[in-house]
Structure 1
Amino acid sequence: MREREDGLIAGGDGYRELYLQTPVMMHSIDSTGRLLEVSDFWLEVLGYEREEVLGTKLTLYLSENSRRLAEDTFLPQFFRVGFVKDVPYQMVKKNGEVIDVLVSAVSERDRLGNIRRSMAGILDVTERKKTEEEIYRLAHYDQLTGQPNRFLLRDRLHQALAQGIRDGEEVAVFFLDLDRFKWVNDTLGHAAGDALLQVVARRLTECVRAIDTVARIGGDEFVVILYGILSSDDLAVFASRILESLSRPTCLEGKEFIASASIGIAICPVDGEDEDTLLRNADTAMYAAKEVGGNSYQFFSTEMAARAQAKLGIESSLRRAFNHQEFFLVYQPQFDLRTRKISGFEALLRWAHPTEGTIGPSRFIPVAEETGLIIPLGAWVLQTACRQAMAWRKAGFPRMRMAVNISARQFARPDFIDLVEGVLKETGLEPELLEIELTETTVMESIEEAITTLTDLKIRKVNLAIDDFGTGYSSLIYLKHFPFDRIKIAQEFVRNIPGDPEDRAIVEAILVMGRSLKLAVIAEGVEKKEQLDFLTKRHCHEMQGYYFGRPACAGEIPGRIISGGLH
């Protein structure tokens, strides 16, 4: 080949035609960066005519960022060393569309070693880059809300912690879990649940600064990273702002819904200096916020960590206990003051711990609720209690109710009615001898669904009692719609009567309300003669408590039934 005066590569017309017509974007520039020649495909892709571009600067066809990069870095490097490979540029078409390209080039020098021209090949990687970006987006962003997912969150948190250490700044992690989200999914449907998650993500993003991160890490859990905080007071204000923002009414499936959340807060470096520790501690604090009723925030503390560790130990022990049949039932008699005889028994769960002895339900039921173990455990309690009631019937003892406490999580399951029917069928117990006990908060959590389930139970002749009445938030407006047979006055009100005037007034009001609604009333926790006399005078129908008998194993019960009336 020989040089031409116009600077093009000489080698015959056939070679030049091959250069121009190759189905590849190619160009040649001189030592000042001006275009000497371009291939036809280069013109076709960018939308120009040859006379428009020859003699102009290559950088005119680059985006602003690529132009700066070329002028400051890659062109000086190319003219110095004579070649570049896969330089990423963005080129701009005549119509303004931007494409991503990779440019590789080699230079030709004269006899003195000066660069005369280049030969460059350009690869359009726009679609490939879009595919790579989509793969990255799918891997690092939540598809429903568009927020970073748990993988990108960890990377962002790692960077924030590293920068915080360098700058001497604190970093706060907010772990947020929505309250009653399961109710939204179960009641309004998953489409409404998805819409709520999108609203929450949007409102959280509105609360933070550009340097902060809002991530959805799964289900109804979100994490917020705050960088450069000033004080705990600022974090408290921010948490309150989140709760206030979430509390704005949201329309879901045509119904107005007010969201709330439980928020746990952990701060670097006081609560941990790495991602795992901070996330774990913020999660622990979030559960502490749930334990106080939700719609609140809690800062992490070492006491929380100790409680969480103890809870983890209980969870592990609970699973082992269930598998090793360490649970058992005791039965406490209920007395009818009108007949002066036992009217029924309440089945109470106990745990025969191999080292700690007998453990009451208050220590392990909350953990069983959280872990889902309450479902198989509750089914076992219902089945065991009904089997025992049937055994007493077969032994010829009088007809008596068997009361069984049902957890909120168990009651909300769509197969709960099937469970009750199956147990009654398997054990042969008449439905009217079973009483399901539910707390106020359980039935008030989803009123319409609760009424439907309770009505299904009543149709099947199962007795219904509302447990711990007075400690929840029910009202006569709702209570009159529930098909309950019995109200159980909470033990905490009975304990201090007749001495405490406030408790006395509450108990009297519940008794009057029960009569007006034609509901039987049973008082729990009766331990003293004074309590018995007070309740008897006010026509309380039934009682249970240590005054009449402590809970006992089934083997100790028959003697009580035979001998047992009130004296």
Structure 2
Amino acid sequence: MAEILASPPVQYLIFCLGAVVVFLVAYRLGTRKTASPEMESLSGFGNDAAILQLVVEHVHEGLVMQDIYGRIEWSNPAYSRITGYSADEIRGRRPQEFILPSENQLPSEEIADFKYDLTRFRSGVEELIMNQRKNGETFWNQLTFAVVEGTTSDQTKIILICRDVTTQVEHVKELEDARNRLKFQAEHDDLTGVANRSKLSSYLQELVQEKNGTGRKLGIIQFDLDHFKDINDNHGHSAGDAVLRHAAQVLQTAVGDKGLVARIGGDEFIAVIPEPSGADELDSLGKKIMSGLERPITVDRHKLRVAGSVGLVLADTAKVSASALINWADIALYEAKKTGRGRVAWYSDAVGATHRHRRMVMAQLDQDLENSNLTLLMEPQYCFRESKIVGYEVYARWLHPSEGLVDPVTLLSVQEDQKRIARIEMFALQRGLAEIRNLREVSNSPFTMALNLSQASLKSPDFIEALQKLSSDYGIPLEALIVEFDEKIIRFDEKDGLLDAIEALKGIGCKVAIDRFGGGHGGAGQLLHVAANVMKVCPDLVAGLEANCERHQLVQSVLRLADQFGLETVAVGVDTSRQVDVLRALGCKQIQGSAVSAPVSPREAELHVMSFELEENNPPDLAIAKG
């Protein structure tokens, strides 16, 4: 504000006015003893004095001459225009008696004892002060002081140059308010009103630098909402926004004035707690947040319930950087989600080491995905009716740095690793079609290919087109492709979900199989919604069916149910010849498992299909079904 008010033209004007007034005062003081009151001063000064007097009377700035005790001896008309007081009303009075607003008024004793401190009030000194006009209106008064020293201190005069700068001050205030608003907007999240990532970063950096080397503690609470995408998908983004505001309020209420709350993106929030009392306080805050999130909120007359996962960090600022704190909090949150969601997890050195190992593993997986450096395995499917292998289920496997050949999808999060999963499934699809074509050529048999796909592929808008192109490129008809999906991923209330994707697959000629049927996630009602072609019996049901009466009856019921819906049946996990015999007798159409062959490489599949004969036994005694 002072920079704007003290611009060079204004300073020059004030300097000139000060010079004029000082000159007049000095002249008056010098001639007071020898000249008559009015005429002698002008006759001695000539025409120049009249000109100077004219300037003083018509200038816009108020001019006041005071004695060393602050009493007004003279003022110009501009001062009367600014304050509303005439020269006669204020002569002999101190400005503090009449010009200060009520809230700033001084005690009468302090006014009576006032005397200018010449060590402070020197020529050129400025003050900006709130004053009040005679009519009660307040205004900003910029005072510039000039000192005309007399022979004694009592003869010294103080010249005040007064400027009404209310307009300028209000303009500066508007600029400051606008600057503060812009600063607030730049540092806060528009939707929730809490701090954003930029503000969090600067705040945390300041804390770390301020406390670095002191061994003080710093707490971090990071949380996000579980299955937040489902809220947006099922209730719309306005409901999602309401939930985010609710989450921010819960966090803000829990933390209070103990620290800073920030939204760092999407549905992720962080709270920074400077110098918490200990781990118990952070743990209590984490549980308080979880409890607050559990309270339902009403959006468009619908009650929505949300849950979250919380990661906690308690660290010594002397040993860690701001970026490391954020990273640790992220690791703690990942740990909470990995172990089941809806819980609180702490960062520890062991957790950090595990995460670093996982990051190294994921980096290697990404590199191998980029280079298509995965392994394809093929598991034969045997048909009882045709007494031969009629197709293969294909799998993508990856050579883990320490665990050997693994299913890479089991290492990934369905919610967080959609792109990786889709790339793995695309590898299996493309390489599988190539190997099925090769097996068809060497054996002259129209093998089918089955492939389990997740929502990562099925919900991709380009997947159907890519599938049709690959089918054409490799010369495998779409009718020979069986797309399997686990029954537990289907949600019938999901708009534009997997049911639409399944219908699209059937529309281009692919067959659809419900995998792991009877595993406990779905049931017969699912068959009413999903127009499948194939039912794959869960291996958990097949295991021990030859010796367990209840399991035997359950498999028999599943196979009958499939017949009623006109579905082909494939029993998975068939490992013994006795299981083969029972399934054949129960009317199962196809089987796969180690009784036929374990998953093999494409080259092994070529040799296996040429020489394979299913081991035959006597028909089983189905009396087991009677108990």
Shift of 1:284: 0.6
Moved more, 365-374 or 124-133: 365-374
How far apart are the structure 2 equivalents of 1:436 and 1:43? 91
Relative distance call for 1:157 and 1:320 in structure 2 (3 A) is same
Any residues of structure 2 matched to 1:87-486 within 5 Å, and which?
106-111=144-149, 116-119=158-161, 122=165, 123-124=168-169, 125-158=172-205, 170-186=217-233, 188-227=235-274, 229-230=276-277, 232-251=279-298, 256-269=303-316, 273-352=320-399, 358-361=405-408, 364-366=411-413, 370=417, 372-394=419-441, 397-444=444-491, 447-448=494-495, 449-469=497-517, 473-478=521-526, 480-486=528-534
> Is the 8 Å Cα contact of residues 84 and 135 (structure 2) preserved in structure 1?
no
1:554 matched to 2:596: no
Unaligned runs of 5+ in 1: 65-70
* Contact 1:164 1:227 (8 Å CA) reproduced: no
Distance in 2 separating the partners of 1:38 and 1:493: 106
Change in CA separation of 1:215 and 1:355 when aligned onto 2, cut-off 3 Å: closer
- SS of the residue corresponding to residue 346 of structure 1 reads strand
**CA drift at 1:475:** 5.0
Distance 1:32 1:544 in 2: 109
C-alpha distance in 1 between matches for 2:298 and 2:551: 41
Q: Mark the runs of 5 or more structure 2 residues left unpaired by the alignment.
A: 1-20, 30-50, 105-110, 616-627
* Residue 606 of structure 2 corresponds to residue 545 of structure 1: no
Query: Comparing 166-175 with 221-230, which one deviates more in the overlay?
Result: 166-175
Aligned to 1:67: none
Find the aligned partners of 2:469 and 2:126 in 1 and give their Cα distance: 70
Q: What is the CA deviation profile of residues 41-68 of structure 1, one whole-angstrom value per residue up to 9, with x for unaligned ones?
A: 9999xxx8567x984579945998xxxx
Kept in 2, the 8 Å contact 1:271–1:300? The answer is no
Identical aligned pairs, as a percentage?
Answer: 24
Question: What is the one-letter code of the residue matched to 2:253?
Answer: E
Is the 2:56–2:76 Cα contact (8 Å) retained in structure 1?
no
Cα distance per residue 1:264-301 (max 9 Å; x no partner)? 11112399643222211110111122223322221112
Offset at 1:504? 7.0
Alignment correspondent of 1:19: 60
Q: Match of 2:256, SS?
A: coil
Residues 365, 402 of structure 1: CA spacing in aligned structure 2 closer, same or farther, 3 A cutoff?
farther
Runs of 4+ in 1 over 6 A off after TM superposition: 26-44, 76-79, 83-99, 162-169, 353-357, 499-506
Counterpart of 1:373 in 2: which secondary structure?
helix
- Length, aligned pairs only: 545
Change (3 A) 1:187 1:529: same
Question: CA separation in 2, counterparts of 1:307 and 1:95?
Answer: 76
Query: Matched residue of 1:480: which SS?
Result: helix
Contact 2:381–2:392, Cα closer than 8 Å, also in 1: yes
Q: 2:132 and 2:453 mapped to 1: Cα distance?
A: 68
Structure 1 residues 108 and 485, CA gap change in structure 2 (3 angstroms) = same
Q: Which amino acid aligns with 2:514?
A: I
Residue 68 of structure 1 corresponds to: none
| Matching residue's letter, 1:238 | L
The TM-score with structure 1 as length reference comes to 0.78
Distance 1:552 1:107 in 2: 98
Root mean square deviation, CA, Å: 4.8
1:528-551 deviations in Å (ceiling 9; x for gaps): 334445544554443322221122
| 1:80 matched residue in structure 2 | 120
Which AA in structure 2 matches 1:420?
L
How big is the shift at 1:357? 6.2
Kept after mapping to 2: 8 A contact 1:264/1:298: yes
Indicate the residue corresponding to 1:566 in structure 2: 614
Q: Secondary structure at the match of 2:506?
A: helix
Q: Distance in 2 between matches of 1:174 and 1:498?
A: 54
Quick check: 1:529–1:547 contact (8 Å CA) kept in 2?
Answer: yes
Which amino acid is 1:483 matched to?
Answer: A
1:191 is displaced (CA, Å) by 4.2
Once structures 1 and 2 are overlaid, which stretch shifts more, 211-220 or 149-158?
Answer: 149-158
Between the aligned partners of 2:130 and 2:558, the Cα distance in structure 1 is 77
Deviation string, structure 1 residues 226-277 (Cα, Å, up to 9, x no partner): 3454554544443333233323344557755432222211112399643222
The range that moved more, 499-508 or 278-287, is 499-508
Question: Which has the larger displacement, 213-222 or 346-355?
Answer: 346-355
CA distance in 1, matches of 2:67, 2:471: 93
- Structure 1 residues 407-455: Cα deviation after superposition (integer angstroms, max 9, x where no partner): 3323333333333333334434222211222234432397331222212
2: distance between equivalents of 1:12 and 1:385?
104
Q: 1:115 to 1:258 in 2, by over 3 A?
A: farther
Change (3 A) 1:270 1:12: closer
**Secondary structure of the structure 2 residue equivalent to 1:174:** strand
> Which segment drifts farther, 299-308 or 359-368?
359-368
Q: Deviations over 1:92-133 (max 9, x none)?
A: 99999999x8x8754222416778354466442122112211
The structure number with the bigger radius of gyration is 2
Q: Structure 1 residues 353 and 300, CA, compared in 2 at 3 Å: closer, same or farther? A: closer
CA shift in 2, pair 1:234/1:359, >3 Å: same
> Partners in 1 of 2:293 and 2:588 — Cα distance?
45
1:524 aligns to 2:572 (yes or no)? yes
Q: Is the 8 A contact 1:333 1:345 kept in 2?
A: yes
CA distance in 2, matches of 1:96, 1:300: 63
Tell me the distance in 1 between the aligned counterparts of 2:130 and 2:465: 64
Cα distance in 2 for residues equivalent to 1:383 and 1:58: 92
TM-score in terms of structure 2 length: 0.71
1:329-379 per-position Cα deviation (integer Å, ceiling 9, x unaligned): 121112234444323211111235799864442565559962733333433
